[in-house]
A and B are shown apart, each in its own frame.
Chain A
Amino acid sequence: MSAFDTSFVRVGTERRARPAKAARQAISLQRFLPFLLPVVVIAAWQLGSSFGWISTRIMPSPAAVVVAFWQTTISGQLPNNILVSAGRAFAGLLVGGSIGFLLGIANGVSRLSEQLTDTTLQMLRTIPHLAMVPLVILWFGIGEESKLFLTALGVLFPIYLNTYHGVRNVDRGLIEMGRVYGMSNWTLFRKVIFPGALPSILVGLRFALGIMWLTLIVAESIAASSGIGYMANNAREFGMTDVVVLTLVIYAILGKLADVVARAIERRALRWNPAYQN
């Protein structure tokens, strides 16, 4: 195999030429390859802690993190906070995502709507939404509204931009075909414009998922009385590094899970596209 990743051209030839058993081994090896680096890092980290090279005040050992995981799980603290955070995240995604999606569609298909709102949206987009934190606390205090507002604001723009871009880039020839073949506006949207914009909308969704967790972490560490961010901040005050690291791991897992779900949706919704087959 060359140094370049040519896996996308190999599909038909090399795999079929190999005997079935060797191919199966190659596939199982490929499945574990992504996990090799994390496993090595964690092993080195545990060794470092066990031999006292890494101070437990700076970094707890992986074993201590596992213990912290176990203790907070049986006390119900961790599952509770995960549920609270996930609820906030998805409520924000739902509200902000819907607004962004609807604006993106409206501005993609209607010239009037685009002229009315696009410039304003582009201006708002350049304000880092986390700069709104002081104002949001003044408006909503540290209640649920502040988290919902910030998360919704954060996910709105990537969904808006990608939906708008997707609608704008639907093949003009297909739209003309739809009109010539007598499609009504609604049918044209359902059969041509929306499916045509979907690859771009899903890219926007994946961006939004990243921003969603980021916003939530910040919002919860600054102003919250529950959630994973609150748990981390609380643990910091008591010097419980194991719990702090545990919350980081939880964030990583939640972020990865959201991405896996988004990818699965992508593969299912875009299975007509050769780029997403296999």
Chain B
Amino acid sequence: MSAIAIDRPRTESANIASQIASAAAIHIKGLEKSFGNNRVLRGIDLDIPAGQFVAVIGKSGCGKSTLLRILMGLEEPSAGYLRFDTAEGSDAQPNTRIVFQEPRLLPWFSVADNVAVGLGEGVPQDISRRETVSVLSEVQLAEKAGEWPSSLSGGQKQRVALARALVSKPGILALDEPLGALDALTRISMQELLNRVWLELGFTAVLVTHDVVGGGSVADRGGGGEKGRWVLYLDVPNPPPRHHGNPALGELEGQLLAAILGETRS
């Protein structure tokens, strides 16, 4: 497993400082997780400053999804600690939202009602409506608000899932291989969308993926890993080489691949 991280480009940080206030910093130290005799994660150290975009890259079964589940508060770590820092204070579980590999939309709800699921319960109708419309236009699907999910394409469904995750203005956005099921072209536009909303909304993003190129082209910092241990922890130059065909991106990809595969062979 490895992690890549990207810091916000300095020029843009000034105008989004107010929004970053809600973003949470994540501190992980000596984190371990075992299921019975199976040690899924061991000795994970990771410090993610508020507002950073981190990609955790590794082969399937290396424990990256478990790391996300711990981050979401769905699993307790077996050892080590996990701490959050937000503007409101430390330690409380910040508002964390997740985008899964599959869209997981409720087929019996309209697109707008699916997005409203992300707001949680007890939100007044008018506020819910306003927030839903605004986040749907953010992902360029405002005109689909009243449609059934079954009428959308795979990429559109995943954008609705992203809108559902973003509508409650999360401090941390967890992305569990969200581009995995999309075709190559849709994936590129989804990467650009992710990058744009991240710059605009200022949340901390943790992307879990096995896609070395995809992870590299959106994230600020990356690391590769094998069997629950970091092998590489990489800071990406700022601003990061995000455009496809950029030689710097190719070099980054090479470093990551070497790290992940090298560990496997040794």
Contact = CB atoms under 8 A, between A and B. Distances in A.
Same complex origin of A and B: yes
Most A CB atoms within 10 A — which of B107, B108, B120? B108
A184 interface: yes
Specify the main secondary structure of chain A where it touches its partner.
Answer: helix
Contacts of B72: 180
A198 B100 CA distance: 25
Contact of B106 (A180, A182, A195, A273): A195
Nearest to B101: A173
A66 interface: no
Interface residues of B, number: 19
A181 interface: yes
B74 A180 contact: yes
B131 interface: no
Contacts of B164: 181
A182 B109 CA distance: 17
Given A181-B118, A182-B120, A183-B121, A272 B104 contact: no
Specify the main secondary structure of chain B where it touches its partner.
Answer: loop
A203 interface: no
A135 interface: no
Contact of B108 (A176, A181, A183, A272): A272
16 contacts: A171-B104, A173-B104, A176-B104, A177-B104, A180-B72, A180-B74, A181-B118, A181-B120, A187-B121, A195-B108, A196-B108, A198-B108, A272-B148, A272-B150, A273-B108, A273-B150
Nearest to A186: B121
A83 interface: no
B46 to A, nearest CB: 21
Nearest to A174: B104
Nearest to B117: A181
Most B CB atoms within 10 A — which of A178, A182, A195? A182
A177 B100 contact: yes
A183 B164 CA distance: 14
A191 interface: yes
A270 B108 CA distance: 8
B41 interface: no
B102 interface: yes
Interface in A38-73: none
B163 interface: no
A191 B120 contact: no
A192 interface: yes
Contacts of B108: 195-196, 198, 270, 272-273
B94 to A, nearest CB: 13
Contacts, number: 43
A273 B107 contact: yes
A182 B72 CA distance: 11
A272 B120 CA distance: 22
A76 interface: no
Contacts of A198: 108
Nearest to A177: B104
A181 B168 CA distance: 10
A33 B104 CA distance: 41
A184 B122 CA distance: 11
A12 interface: no
Nearest to B165: A181
A270 B148 CA distance: 11
Interface in B85-134: 97-98, 100, 102, 104, 106-109, 117-118, 120-121
Contact of A192 (B100, B102, B106, B148): B106
A128 interface: no
A274 interface: yes
Contacts of B74: 180
B104 A274 contact: no
Interface string B136-179: 00000000000011100000000000001000000000000000
Most A CB atoms within 10 A — which of B97, B98, B102, B104? B104
Given A171-B104, A187-B121, A198-B108, 10 more contacts: A173-B100, A173-B102, A173-B104, A174-B104, A177-B100, A191-B106, A195-B106, A272-B107, A272-B109, A272-B149
A182 to B, nearest CB: 5
B117 A191 contact: yes
Contacts of A181: 97, 117-118, 120, 164
A184 B117 CA distance: 12
A174 B74 CA distance: 15
